Structure 1
Amino acid sequence: MKINCTFLAKLLSVVMLTSLIPVQASINTTAIMASSASSSCLNYKIVGTCFWLFCTKFGCSIRTSTKVKHFIPEMVVSSYNHDGQNPWSEVNSFNQGALKGGEYRSPHKQYTQFTFKNADAIGHPQGAISQMLNSTGYYCKSQTTPFVPYFLSGLDFFAWKENLPEMFYPEAMVPGMREVSKADDNWGNIYPRSGAINQVHDYKASAVIVQRVADIVSRMAQPHIYLPAAKKGGAGEWLPGPVKESNAQTHKWQMLYPKTEQSCSIFPHGSSVDTHSDKMSTKGDYAWALWRPYSCCKRRGQKFLYSIDWQ
């Protein structure tokens, strides 16, 4: 029996190269909770003073408390191609009925490439630090509930797959309106807020997809099937407003998968020639933590009067 040495050498080289490729495992709840201990994402600040009316049977007095401002990881927003590919292992079965995704090239225009992604937004499990600080009164409480699905693209079929009705919105038809872009680096348009995007770079396409999801869930009465995270604040608490792309005052993103980062940023980031090769997923699945800004002060009376910001 003769052995083709050339073929054997090629086969051996392929095996060696394959063994060098890192295997991407999914991310679990424990790792997500640990990632929330990020001081740079938290951006904790003391910003002012709150005034409360405190009354007893002997009379009333005015008490003060410190007003703080910081970001909270509200949700884990994932973007992926196929059903069951959510990289968050404990919730990857939530989005049943998700459509087949991936890259599609137009048969008429070979230079045009569309990517379709499924997506979901699940309540962030927070972390031990958040749970410990909540009891102090100097850490704001999140409006979201851990593990609750706020958006599942499989349920939002017509809007997510068919672009209805947002394909007719001015933001979807006028170039330059509501885009994730800066200078000469355009990652994609926000509208229509669906799963299809004309972007050849998989990381950038996924980033725009999760930005669309954040845009939906942070607003009330949108033409989608979802649970809004857009509550109004109560006494001594100020909840975040709607997410706006390229605006770090409204939100931040912390990448969880395929690379877990300890810092936050907004899209787009990096230079126009940055390939983001260290953040590319081999399966097209990605996950980010969505951080949003909160302000609050510790309750020190029965009635909140007003607050004063120092800046």
Structure 2
Amino acid sequence: MCSRRLRAGIATILLTTGAPSFALNTATIASSTLSPDCLEYRVVGICFWLFCTTFGCSVETSVKVRHYVPDAVVSSYSNTGANPWVEVQSMSRPNGSVQGGGDGTTNEDHENNLAKFKNADVIGHPGGYVFSQFASSFGYSCEGAGTAFMPYLLSTLDTIAWRYNIPEMAYPEALTPGEREIGTRSDRNLWGNVYPRGGFLHQTDDYKSAAVVAQRAGDIVTRRGQIHVYQPLLADSEDGYWPAGALIESDATTGKWQELTPTLSRSCAVFPHADSRVQALQGDYAWALWRPYSCCEREGQVFLGSVDFY
């Protein structure tokens, strides 16, 4: 118990201060995993196993736990090649089909219908070792789907879909008002639409623009069979292991976001949120995408099932 409180205290001290950050590095990202709020560790049930030896069989039990895992770092940034995560910038350099980025106009005060463009990269979270040590201090921990430094989506390689919205501009979700939106008009907190899942949108607030684009990128990689150039960020279910599924906007039970830059947050939230939003000077933002997993320790050869407390 003392060890757990000590680790939680250290995590709080490390992440309490949110200061502007203009260059995000791997060490900072790894240390950001020490967040009890993002982890949200819970004992949720019991698993039953059939354990057999030459002397007979018995039913054994193990605790079923649920917690969030930082699967990926999702960067959303204006200038092509300028991913705020400095060690991975070389993955998304400008190429023959992708050159620039940024705003569609000069961003003067009277231009209140600003066209924005953001690149997006989804890259496996590098904090696996630090996180596993931290999560294990609470008890048995689950493995996530992400592989460190693995590029799951690089918008510079997804030119047709990301820059021209082909074919998603014709999808019903893109043509129907109120469908797949982040926030609502009735609550006056509408940040933008998930579809079409590309880099362009109209939004005067740069932070909200980046968040919408990050949500779009997360939406793509957590589904199979999308018409994009990407790798699915999904794990297969196994006996005693229930991985995260598709990310759904504004639904924390499918995933939540931890801001990494321009400020480093010690907590996670979904979009839209009412927290203070710092505008990045260069239009570059990054979040860690945390997703929920459930698992239990194997205690036999045959999995018989599980019972949840709630």
Are 1:64 and 2:61 counterparts?
Answer: yes
2:31 is aligned to: 34
Determine if contact 1:34/1:127 at 8 Å carries over to the other structure. Answer: no
The residue that corresponds to 2:279 in the other structure is 280
Equivalences for 1:180-259 in 2 at 5 Å? 180-182=182-184, 183-259=187-263
CA contact (8 A) 2:21 2:263 kept: no
In structure 2, distance between residues paired with 1:24 and 1:31 = 10
State the structure with more CA Rg.
1
Q: Which residue in 2 is equivalent to 1:104?
A: 104
Please tell me whether residue 130 in structure 1 is matched to residue 131 in structure 2. yes
**Other-structure match for 1:121:** 122
Task: Return the offset for 1:137.
Answer: 7.4
Q: Which residue of the partner structure matches residue 297 of structure 2?
A: 298
Q: CA deviation at 1:54?
A: 1.1
Which amino acid in the other structure matches residue 302 of structure 1? Q
3-state SS of 2:157 partner: coil
Instruction: Give, in whole Å, the separation in 1 of the partners of 2:150 and 2:176.
Output: 35
1:137 touches 1:299 (CA, 8 Å); kept in 2?
A: no
Q: What is the DSSP-based 3-state SS (H/G/I as helix, E as strand, rest coil) of the residue aligned with 1:243?
A: coil
Identify which range, 163-172 or 93-102, moves more after superposition: 93-102
8 Å Cα contact 2:112/2:204 also seen in 1: no
Alignment of structure 1 residues 156-171 onto 2, 5 Å? 156-171=158-173
Equivalent residues, number: 283
Q: Contact (CA 8 Å) 1:99, 1:118: kept in 2 or not?
A: no
How far off its partner does 1:56 sit? 1.5
Report the residue type matching 1:39 in the other structure: P
Structure 1: any 5+ residue segments left out of the alignment?
A: 1-21
**CA distance in structure 2 between the partners assigned to 1:137 and 1:265 by the alignment:** 24
How far apart are 1:126 and its partner, in Å?
A: 2.2
Following superposition, the deviation at residue 51 of structure 1 comes to: 0.5
> Post-superposition shift, 1:232?
2.5
Aligned to 2:75: 78
Tell me the distance in 1 between the aligned counterparts of 2:57 and 2:99: 61
Using the TM superposition, name which of 93-102 and 116-125 deviates more.
Answer: 93-102
Please state whether the residue corresponding to 1:214 is helix, strand or coil. Answer: helix
Instruction: Work out the CA distance in 1 between the residues paired with 2:38 and 2:139.
Output: 20
Superposed displacement of residue 135, structure 1: 10
**Conserved 8 A contact 2:31-2:130:** no
CA contact (8 A) 2:35 2:266 kept: yes
1:13-52 equivalences in 2 (<5 Å): 24-52=21-49
Deviation at 1:83, TM superposition (A): 2.5
Kept after mapping to 1: 8 A contact 2:50/2:58: yes
Equivalent pair of 2:22/2:261 in contact (CA under 8 Å): no
Deviation of 1:105 (Å): 3.2
Task: Please point out which of 49, 52, 72 is paired with 1:55.
Answer: 52
Q: TM-score, normalised by structure 1?
A: 0.86
Shift of 1:214: 0.5
3-state DSSP of counterpart to 1:31? helix
Q: How far 1:23 moved relative to its partner?
A: 7.9
Measure, in 2, the Cα distance between the counterparts of 1:235 and 1:88. Answer: 36
Letter in 2 for 1:73: P
| Aligned counterparts of 2:99 and 2:55: Cα–Cα separation in 1 | 66
**Residue type of the alignment partner of 1:187:** W
Pair 1:87 & 2:84 matched: yes
Task: Tell me how far apart the structure 2 counterparts of residues 283 and 127 of structure 1 sit (CA, whole Å).
Answer: 29
Q: Name structure 2 gaps, 5 residues minimum.
A: 1-18
Comparing 184-193 with 96-105, greater Cα deviation is found at 96-105
Q: What fraction of aligned residue pairs are identical, expressed as a percent?
A: 49
Deviation sequence 1:33-79 (CA, Å, 0-9, x none): 10001000100000000001111122211110000000001000001
